[in-house]
Structure 1
Amino acid sequence: MSLHLSIVMPAYNEEECIHEVVETWVDLLNRQFPTENTRLIVINDGSKDRTGAILDSLKPKYPTKLEVVHTPNGGHGNAVVRGYHHAVALGSDYVFQTDSDDQFVTDDFAKLWAKRYESNFILGYRQIRFDAPARLVITRILKFSLFLIYGTYIKDSNIPFRLINGVYLKKLLEQLPVPTPFAPNIFLAVMARKAGQKTFDIPIVHKERLTGTVSILRWKLIKVCIQSFQELAEFRLELGSKVKALKAVDVKQPVKM
C-alpha cells in the first residue's frame, strides 16, 4: 500500500530531545491525516548515545506511523538520501524532510502543504536563524556561490524543511551525483529550480538549539564548505543534462483531499 506522506528525519546523538520530537511529528500526522496512510521515517545515523534505543522503545507505541532505520554513521547528507530512497521505495505521494534537533515547529508544515499542487519542490526559509555565527557566514557565502556558479538565487538551499512530490523526488535522486555529495539537499534544490520548479522559499520559525551538540564547527566547518563549493563547481558541467531529464518527467499530482 502506497503512502500519502512520508516524513524523513535523520538523527544523530539526539537523546535529549528525540522522544519529544518524534511524538510531536507523529501527532501532526495523526491530526492532519487521520484517514491517510502516513509514516515518520527516522534514520538513526550511527548515534553513539541512547538515540537508537529511545527510537526502538517508541516503535511499539506507533506501530503504523513510526519506522526506524539504523545505519552506520555516514553523515547527515547520506542519512537524508537514505531516507529519501526509503520513502520513494514505499511509494510515497509526498515526502517531507526535517531534522531531529527540535529547531522547527510542526505548525509551519501547513504552509508548505498548502502549496503542494503549485510545485513539485517547496522549501522553507529560516528568516531569523538561530545558529552559530560561523554557520551564518557560511550560509551567506553558499547563497552567493550558487548565484555565481549557477545563476540561481535560493534563500535557504540546504534547509531541512522541504516538501517534495514523491515521483519528482525519485527522478531527482536519479540525477544526484555519485558518491553522495556532502550536502545533497543543495544539489536537489539547484536542480529543481533550474528545471523550472517554483520553490516559494516560505518563511518559517527556527528555534534556538537547546539540546545536543553541533557536530561541525570551526575548521571542520570551513573544510566542508570548501568541499561543498568544489562539488558544486564540478557539478556545473553535468547540470544541463540533469535539468533536461527532470523537465521530461511527467508528474501526475495525487487527487486533492
Structure 2
Amino acid sequence: MSQKPYLSVVIPVYNEEKNIKPLLESLDNALKGIGKTFEVIIVDDGSQDKTLSILKELKPRYPWLKIIALRKNFGQSAAFTAGIDHAQGEVIVTMDGDLQNDPRDIPKLLAKIEEGYDVVSGWRKDRKDPFLSRKLPSMMANALISRLTRVKLHDYGCSLKAYRAEVIKGVTIYGELHRFIPVLVSFSGARITEIEVTHHPRKFGKSKYGISRTYRVLLDLFLMIFFRKFATKPLHMFGLTGGLLFLAGFGIELYLTILKFFYGQDIGQRPLLILGVLLIVTGINLVGTGLLAELVMRTYYESSGKRIYSVREVIK
C-alpha cells in the first residue's frame, strides 16, 4: 500500500491452517466498507503446520495483507509486539486468528476510538467457551484484576481491542502481559472504555488456552500491582518492609541484651533470640533487594529497547 493506512489489524496465529482462508475472507468483507485505508498484519508465531504456506499462497489475493513470520514459537505477547512494531496505522486493532473474534465488530471499536478514547476493549458477554475450564476462571480473574488494578473491565482476556498507535507503541509487552495492556497504558493516563463484541465457538483447530494459565495470570497480576505502585520506586516497598523487620529484630535483641547484662538471665536457649536474628538478616536482605531493584528498574527505563522476538522474514 502506497499511503500510510489509518487502521492496522494485528493478528498472531499459531497452527491455524484451517482458519486462515475464512479469516482473510471475513476481514476483507468487514474492512473494505469502513471507508478508511487499512492493513492487516498476520504474525505467524512459528507454526508447525501449513499456516505460513497458506498465507503466502493467499497473499496476492489481498493487497492489504502483510505477513510476519517469526523464527520459532515465541508466544502470543511477543507475536503481538512484532505486529504492533510493524504497524503503520493511526489506530491498531488486535484480535485472535481462530475465528472466535468477529471482524465485523471492528467498525464499532473504531467508532468508540473516534469518540476520544485511547483504548476500546472487547467484552465477550455471551462467550462460547466451556464454563468450568474457561469461563468461570476467567470471570474470577477479571473481577480480581479489576479490583486490584482499578481498571474496570469485564473481559481482560478478549484479544479484540483497539488502541491509538501513540498509546500502544510505547508499551513493552513480554511474558503473558498482552492481556494487561489496558492496565499498562492506564499508567500514562489513557482513556479506556469497553463494548460488547460477538464471540463465536471455535470450529477448527485446538485452543492454546487452558485452566493451567490461571496461575500465570495471577503471577502477572502481582507484577501489575507492583508496576502500579512501585514501578519507579521499588526501594520504597522493599526498604519499608525491610526497615520494619530490621527494627523489630533489633528491638528483640535489645530486650534480650538487657535481660542478659542487667538481670543475669540465660538467653542462649530462647527461640526469641533466633527470631530476632532472623528478622534483622531478613530486613537487611530486603533493603539490599530494594537497592538492586532500583538499579534494575533504572536499566529497564533507560535501556535501548532490545526486542524479545526474532523475525525470519517480512512479506509486503
TM-score (norm 1): 0.80
Query: 2:51 matched to which residue of 1?
Result: 51
Deviation, structure 1 residue 238: 4.4
Paired residues for 1:33-182 under 5 Å: 33=35, 36-62=36-62, 64-71=63-70, 72-87=72-87, 90=88, 92-117=89-114, 118-132=116-130, 133-171=132-170, 173=171, 176=172, 180-182=174-176
Q: Which residue of 1 aligns with 2:309?
A: none
CA distance in 2, matches of 1:152, 1:67: 33
Equivalent residue of 1:104, what SS?
Answer: coil
Q: Secondary structure at the match of 1:2?
A: coil
Match of 1:235 among 211, 219, 227: 227
C-alpha deviations, 1:188-231, integer Å up to 9, x for none?
2113345444432101111111111012324x324423432343
Cα distance in 1 for partners of 2:4, 2:79 equals 22
Separation in 2, partners of 1:214, 1:233? 29
| SS of equivalent residue, structure 1 residue 101 | coil
Q: In the TM superposition, what is the alpha-carbon distance from 1:239 to its structure 2 partner?
A: 5.2
Distance 1:148 1:122 in 2: 19
Aligned length: 229
Residue 185 of structure 1 corresponds to: 179
Matched residue SS, 2:169: helix
Give me the whole-angstrom Cα distance separating, in 1, the residues matched to 2:197 and 2:54: 28
Q: Which amino acid counterpart does residue 202 of structure 1 have in structure 2?
A: I
Amino acid paired to 1:8 = V
Using CA pairs below 8 Å that are at least 6 residues apart, which structure has the higher relative contact order? 1
Distance, in Å, in 1 between the alignment partners of 2:105 and 2:231 is 31
- Choose 41-50 or 105-114, whichever is displaced more: 105-114
User: What are structure 2's unaligned runs of at least 5 residues?
Assistant: 234-300, 302-316
Letter in 2 for 1:224: R
Point out where structure 1 has 5 or more consecutive residues left out of the alignment.
246-257
Contact residue 149 and residue 236 of structure 1 kept, 8 A = no
Identity %: 23
Q: Distance in 1 between matches of 2:78 and 2:137?
A: 21
Amino acid at match of 2:37: N
Larger proportion of helix: 2
Offset of residue 167 of structure 1: 1.7
What does residue 255 of structure 1 align with?
A: none
1:215 to 197, 208, 214: 208
Deviation at 1:151, TM superposition (A): 2.7
Structure showing greater radius of gyration is 2
Q: CA deviation at 1:240?
A: 7.0
Q: RMSD over aligned Cα, in angstroms?
A: 2.3
- Aligned residues of 1:3 and 1:39 also touching (Cα < 8 A): yes
User: Partners in 2 of 1:216 and 1:161 — Cα distance?
Assistant: 16
